[in-house]
Amino acid sequence: MALMITDECINCDVCEPECPNQAISMGETVYVIDPARCTECVGHFGEPQCVQVCPVECIPVNPAHVETREQLQRKYEELQAQSAATAGSTA
C-alpha cells in the first residue's frame, strides 16, 4: 500500500526529507509520492515517517496501490539492492 499526498497538502516541506526511500518529491502543485519507491517505511521504521510529521494529516493509503506487508518488504529489499549496486558502480 503505497501512500499518497492529497490536495490538502500545504507544501510545508517536512515530509520529503523524512522519506528513507526518496519517494517524495514536489509535484505541480503539491508534493507527490512515487508508489514504486514507497514502502510505507517497511524495512526502515515501524510507521511511515511522512505521516508522523505531516501537520495537516493529508497522507492516506493510496487505494490504487494496495500491497501487503510482504510485498512492501520485497520492494524495500529491491530498492536496497538497487541502491547498493548504484553505490558500487560509482565507487
Domains and CATH numbers, the chain: 16-90 (3.30.70.20)
Decide which of 51 and 1 is more confident: 51
pLDDT in tens, 15-38: 999 999 999 999 999 999 999 999
- The percentage of the chain sitting over the pLDDT mark of 90, rounded to a whole number, equals 89
- Look up the pTM and report it: 0.90
Single-letter amino acid, residue 64 = A
Query: Residues near 53 by Cβ (< 8 Å), separated by ≥ 6?
Result: 14, 15, 18
Segments of the chain assigned E as strands: 24-26, 31-33
